[in-house]
Amino acid sequence: MIIDAFVLRALVAGLIVAVAAGPLGCLVVWRRMAYFGDATAHAAVLGVALALAFDVSIFAGTLFAALVVAGAVSTLAGRGWAMDTTLGVLAHSALALGLVVVSLLQGVRLNLESFLFGDILTVTARDLWLMGGGAALVSALMLWRWEGLLAATISEDLAQSMGLNPARERLVLTLALALVVAVALKVVGALLIAAMLLIPPATARIYARSPEGMALLAIGAAALAVLAGLGASLIWDTPAGPSIVTAAAAMFAASLGGAALIRRLSRG
C-alpha cells in the first residue's frame, strides 16, 4: 500500500502538535488555565482575519493575535480583574471580531470551517517546517524553564523565595501557548485546540506518577489520538480535526473506566 504524501504530511503535522501540546497542556491543567488556553485559541480566528487583511502568513497572524490576547488577559488579570470575566470578554470578542473581519474582506473566498475545525489534509511542506520550528521552540522553552514553571505552578511565593521570577514564568507560558495555537490551527482548528491541550494530559494523569511522566504520557496520548483519529477520518471520511479530538476523548473515557475497574478489582 502506498501512503499518499498528503496523508504522511498530515500525520507528521499531527505528531508535531502532540509534542508541542503535551507538556504545555499539563501546565495548563495544573495551573487551572483551561479557559485561558481556549481564549488564546479563539483569538486565532482574529489572527487569520488579520493575516488575510494585511497579506501576511497565517502562522504569523495567528501567533500575533494569540500573543496579544494572551498578554491582554495576563495584564488585566494582574490588575485584579476576575480571570473568568476577562477571558470571557476577550475570547469571544476576538472570535466574533475575527468572523466579522473575515466576512468584510473583499475578494477573499475563505473556507471558514477549515480554520474553526482544522484542515490537516491540506498541510503543505512549508507548513510543516513552520510548525516544526514552532514546536521545537515550545519544547525548548519547556525544557529550559521546566523546574521554574513547576515551582511557580506549585506556589508563586515559594518560587520567588527560590530566586525565581513568577512573572517571567507566566510570560514563558503565554509565549508557549501562543506558539502552540499557531502550530495547531491547521490540525484541529481554533475551536478544538484547547481540546488537544486538555484531553491528553487528563488521560495521562490517570497513569502518571510524576510531573515529567505526565508530560511524556500526554505527548504519547496525543500522538495515539492523532494516529487513531487520522486513520478513522480516512476510513470513514470524517473531518480529521474533530476525529482526532474524538479519539483523544475516547482514550480518556476508556482510561477512566479502566482505572475504576482496576480499583474495584484490587479492592474486591
Partner 1 sequence: MRRLPQGGLGMTTLIEAKGLSVAYGAAAPVLRHVDFILQAGEIVTIVGPNGSGKSTLLRALLGMVAPTAGTVSRATGLRVGYVPQALHLDANLPLSVARFLRLNRRLGQAQVAALLARVGAPGLEARSLATLSGGQFQRVLLARALAGNPQVLVLDEPTKGLDQPGTAAFYRLIEQVRRELGCAVLSVSHDLHVVMSASDRVVCLNGHVCCEGAPSVVSNAPEYRALFGLGTGGALALYQHHHDHGADHPDHPHDHETCNHDH
Q: Which stretch binds partner 1 (CB under 8 A): 27-35, 69-77, 222-230, 247-255?
A: 27-35
Residue 170 corresponds to which amino acid? R
Q: Does 168 participate in binding partner 1 (rule CB under 8 A)?
A: no
Using the structure block, give the residue that is written with the C-alpha cell 515529567: 212
Q: Which stretch binds partner 1 (CB under 8 A): 37-45, 119-127, 131-139, 201-209?
A: 201-209
Which residue, 164 or 219, has its beta carbon nearer to partner 1? 164
Q: Does 29 participate in binding partner 1 (rule CB under 8 A)?
A: yes
Angle at 124 between CA 21 and CA 98, to 5 degrees: 65
Smallest distance, partner 1 to C-beta of residue 230, A: 27
Smallest distance, partner 1 to C-beta of residue 235, A: 33
Which residue, 113 or 157, has its beta carbon nearer to partner 1? 157
Q: Does 151 participate in binding partner 1 (rule CB under 8 A)?
A: yes
Q: Does 202 participate in binding partner 1 (rule CB under 8 A)?
A: yes
Residue 164 corresponds to which amino acid? L
What distance in Å separates the CA atoms of residue 27 and residue 215, rounded to the nearest whole number? 9
**Binder to partner 1 among 57, 85, 103, 155 (CB under 8 A)?**
155
Which residues have CB under 8 Å from 221's CB, separation 6+? 22, 199, 200, 201, 203, 204, 248, 251
Phi/psi for 123 (5° steps) reads -65, 130
Smallest distance, partner 1 to C-beta of residue 92, A: 26
Query: Hey, what's the cell of 56?
Result: 501576511
What distance in Å separates the CA atoms of residue 216 and residue 213, rounded to the nearest whole number? 5
**Binder to partner 1 among 6, 32, 110, 261 (CB under 8 A)?**
32
- For 128: left if phi > 0, alpha if psi spans -120 to 50, otherwise beta; the answer is alpha
What distance in Å separates the CA atoms of residue 191 and residue 195, rounded to the nearest whole number? 8
**Binder to partner 1 among 85, 213, 254, 262 (CB under 8 A)?**
213
Q: Does 148 participate in binding partner 1 (rule CB under 8 A)?
A: yes
Which residues have CB under 8 Å from 167's CB, separation 6+? none
CB 218 within 8 A of CB 203: yes
**Binder to partner 1 among 173, 214, 218, 247 (CB under 8 A)?**
214
Q: From residue 239, how far is each of 41, 58, 253 by CA, in Å?
A: 19, 21, 21
**Binder to partner 1 among 14, 23, 211, 239 (CB under 8 A)?**
211
Q: Which stretch binds partner 1 (CB under 8 A): 4-12, 65-73, 197-205, 219-227?
A: 197-205
Query: Hey, what's the cell of 251?
Result: 482514550
**Binder to partner 1 among 106, 107, 143, 210 (CB under 8 A)?**
210
**Binder to partner 1 among 82, 105, 162, 262 (CB under 8 A)?**
162
Binding site for partner 1 (CB under 8 A): 29-32, 147-148, 150-151, 153-155, 157-158, 160-162, 164, 201-202, 205, 208-211, 213-214
